[in-house]
């Protein structure tokens, strides 16, 4: 499967913090074809360190997205965009501030999960999709899937929040804060002003090491490393974490790390009212998945969402899958998820195409051609 990143520029984006970001770029990839009725589009939302390259060679969810896979690109148009605040093509702290001509760095405005979703909505409008068949994602992607369902219920038929939560716990915030502190303690961070110079690689590497520990489980670490030695003076697990931290520095911006983890920590659906109030009357189907070995996003957090949905008699399917790989399960335990996701999508597609009720949507612009290298859209 050949994939290519496209970039789309919007005139502006209003942020929750009150700042208007202008202009704003979003990098995205698409796989498959939009049908004539424009009812088969699925938005895949990446987790904290992911990017728009979800499928195909090296894609972060390539085992789930593709011809004949769970998100079957023979049947659906799959879209994945880099998140706002990221560093893989979408506007973030590493982008140039048009007012100064310098990178934003720490003067980049505070972004939220809702801001990320607002930008995705612009992209979806630009692609001429009145209503998504589904929004799916794990971890931070799951938060965005929830945000979509709450903010744009008429524009999404189904949401698949996987291994996620409606709000971070103290433990989740704590691990993120350790990562941020590691970056800021690195002298190379220099208050965020390091572009064009040596980036805070040691700090970012340590942050990533902590992250990796939280994504695994005691079981999976025992299986993968045990107490094996790499060298006489180094455990296998030390070597692995150091390597992963080191590799991460090549592809991730330390300031994005700070901004995006803050967006995750500040996300709290219950700030806008109880979950039960938020889910009242929304006509979105849900498939919520959690994993038994995931101690970073434990199943009680998914159950909180599911209970609220059931209390409103929303259409929700929930399964706590038996896995061993901790939070990483959503990326690696493919067999567990494939049949579930495929069946859920197929029945949702059948229902939405059979349903007479179609939300009124403004006449959308012409669908953009996929794999376009660069395109510009005026504010929809």
Partner 1 sequence: MKIVREIYGRRDYAIIGELVEPGTRVLDLGCGEGELLAWLKENKDVDGRGVELTAARVQKAIARGVSVYQGDLESAVGDYPDQVFDYVILSQTLQETRDPRGVLRSMLRVGKHAIVAFPNFGHYSVRLAHLFSGQSPRNKLFPYDWFDSPNIHFLTIRDFELLAARERWRVERRIFIAGQRQVSLFPNLLAEIGVFLVSATYQP
Contact 103, 97 (CB under 8 A): yes
239 belongs to the catalytic site:
no
Burial class (CB in 10 A: 0-12, 13-18, 19+), 230: middle
Which of the residues 346 through 375 are near partner 1 (CB under 8 A)? 346-347, 350
Tallying the residues shown for the chain, one arrives at 380
Among candidates 307, 312, 254, which has minimal Cα distance to 283? 312
Nearer to partner 1, 144 or 348 (CB): 348
- Binding to partner 1 by residue 307, rule CB under 8 A? yes
Contact 103, 95 (CB under 8 A): yes
- Provide the minimum distance between the beta carbon of 306 and partner 1 in the complex, in angstroms, as a whole number: 7
Nearer to partner 1, 287 or 296 (CB): 287
- Binding to partner 1 by residue 334, rule CB under 8 A? no
- Binding to partner 1 by residue 12, rule CB under 8 A? no
- Binding to partner 1 by residue 238, rule CB under 8 A? no
Give the one residue of 131, 212, 244, 342 binding partner 1; rule: CB under 8 A: 342
Give the one residue of 67, 68, 311, 359 binding partner 1; rule: CB under 8 A: 311
- Binding to partner 1 by residue 278, rule CB under 8 A? no
Contact 133, 41 (CB under 8 A): yes
- Binding to partner 1 by residue 318, rule CB under 8 A? yes
Which residues is 65 bridged to in the sheet?
A: 71
Give the one residue of 316, 324, 333, 370 binding partner 1; rule: CB under 8 A: 316
- Binding to partner 1 by residue 317, rule CB under 8 A? yes
Return d(Cα 252, Cα 1) in angstroms, integer: 25
Q: Which stretch binds partner 1 (CB under 8 A): 124-132, 259-267, 343-351, 366-374?
A: 343-351
- Binding to partner 1 by residue 315, rule CB under 8 A? yes
CB crowding 97-109: b at 16 or more within 10 Å, else e: eeeeeebbbeebb
294 belongs to the catalytic site:
yes
- Binding to partner 1 by residue 287, rule CB under 8 A? yes
- Binding to partner 1 by residue 319, rule CB under 8 A? yes
Which residues is 41 bridged to in the sheet?
A: 77
**Which residues, 6 or more positions from 62, have their beta carbon under 8 angstroms from its beta carbon?**
54, 55, 56
Q: Which stretch binds partner 1 (CB under 8 A): 11-19, 43-51, 120-128, 336-344?
A: 336-344
Contact 217, 211 (CB under 8 A): no
- Binding to partner 1 by residue 312, rule CB under 8 A? yes
- Binding to partner 1 by residue 274, rule CB under 8 A? no
Nearer to partner 1, 311 or 365 (CB): 311
Indicate which residue of 46, 126, 168, 327 is catalytic: 327
At 159 the three-state DSSP class reads strand
CB crowding 281-301: b at 16 or more within 10 Å, else e: ebebbbbbbbbebbebbbbeb
Indicate which residue of 294, 299, 328, 329 is catalytic: 294
- Binding to partner 1 by residue 226, rule CB under 8 A? no
- Binding to partner 1 by residue 321, rule CB under 8 A? yes
Q: Which stretch binds partner 1 (CB under 8 A): 36-44, 142-150, 312-320, 356-364?
A: 312-320
Return d(Cα 171, Cα 264) in angstroms, integer: 13
Give the one residue of 310, 334, 377, 380 binding partner 1; rule: CB under 8 A: 310
- How many helices, marked H, and strands, marked E, lie in the chain? 11, 15
- Provide the minimum distance between the beta carbon of 358 and partner 1 in the complex, in angstroms, as a whole number: 18
For 38-68, the DSSP string reads S--EEEEE--TT--S--SSTT-TTTTTEETT
Indicate which residues carry an active-site annotation: 139, 294, 327
Name the site residues for partner 1 (rule: CB under 8 A).
285, 287, 306-307, 310-313, 315-322, 336, 339-340, 342-344, 346-347, 350
């Amino acid at each position: 499967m050949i994939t290519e990143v496209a970039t789309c520029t919007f005139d502006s984006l209003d942020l929750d913090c009150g700042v208007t970001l202008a202009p704003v770029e979003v990098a995205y990839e698409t796989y498959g074809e939009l049908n004539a009725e424009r009812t088969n589009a699925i938005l895949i939302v990446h987790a904290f360190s992911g990017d728009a390259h979800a499928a195909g060679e090296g894609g972060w969810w390539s085992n789930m997205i593709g011809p004949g896979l769970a998100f079957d690109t023979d049947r659906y148009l799959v879209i994945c965009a880099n998140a706002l605040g990221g560093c893989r093509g979408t506007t973030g702290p590493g982008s140039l501030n048009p007012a100064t001509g310098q990178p934003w760095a720490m003067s980049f405005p505070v972004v939220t999960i809702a801001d990320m979703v607002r930008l995705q909505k612009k992209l979806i409008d630009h692609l001429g999709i009145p209503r998504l068949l589904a929004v799916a994602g794990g971890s931070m992607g799951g938060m965005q899937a929830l945000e979509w369902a709450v903010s744009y219920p008429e524009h999404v038929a189904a949401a698949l929040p996987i291994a996620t939560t409606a709000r971070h716990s103290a433990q989740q915030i704590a691990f993120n804060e350790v990562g941020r502190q590691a970056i800021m303690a690195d002298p190379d961070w220099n208050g965020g002003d390091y572009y064009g110079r040596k980036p805070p690689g040691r700090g970012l590497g340590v942050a990533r090491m902590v992250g990796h520990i939280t994504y695994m489980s005691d079981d999976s670490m025992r299986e993968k490393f045990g107490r094996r030695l790499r060298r006489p003076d180094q455990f296998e697990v030390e070597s692995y974490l150091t390597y992963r931290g080191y590799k991460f520095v090549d592809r991730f911006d330390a300031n994005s790390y700070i901004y995006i983890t803050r967006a995750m920590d500040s996300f709290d659906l219950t700030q806008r009212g109880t979950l039960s109030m938020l889910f009242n009357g929304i006509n979105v189907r849900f498939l919520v998945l959690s994993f038994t070995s995931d101690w970073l996003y434990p199943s009680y957090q998914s159950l909180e969402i599911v209970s609220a949905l059931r209390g409103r008699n929303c259409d929700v399917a929930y399964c706590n899958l038996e896995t061993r790989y901790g939070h990483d399960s959503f990326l690696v335990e493919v067999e567990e998820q494939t049949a579930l996701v495929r069946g859920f999508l197929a029945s949702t597609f059948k229902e939405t195409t059979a349903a007479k009720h179609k939300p009124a949507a403004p006449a959308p612009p012409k669908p953009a051609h996929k794999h376009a290298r660069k395109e510009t859209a005026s504010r929809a």
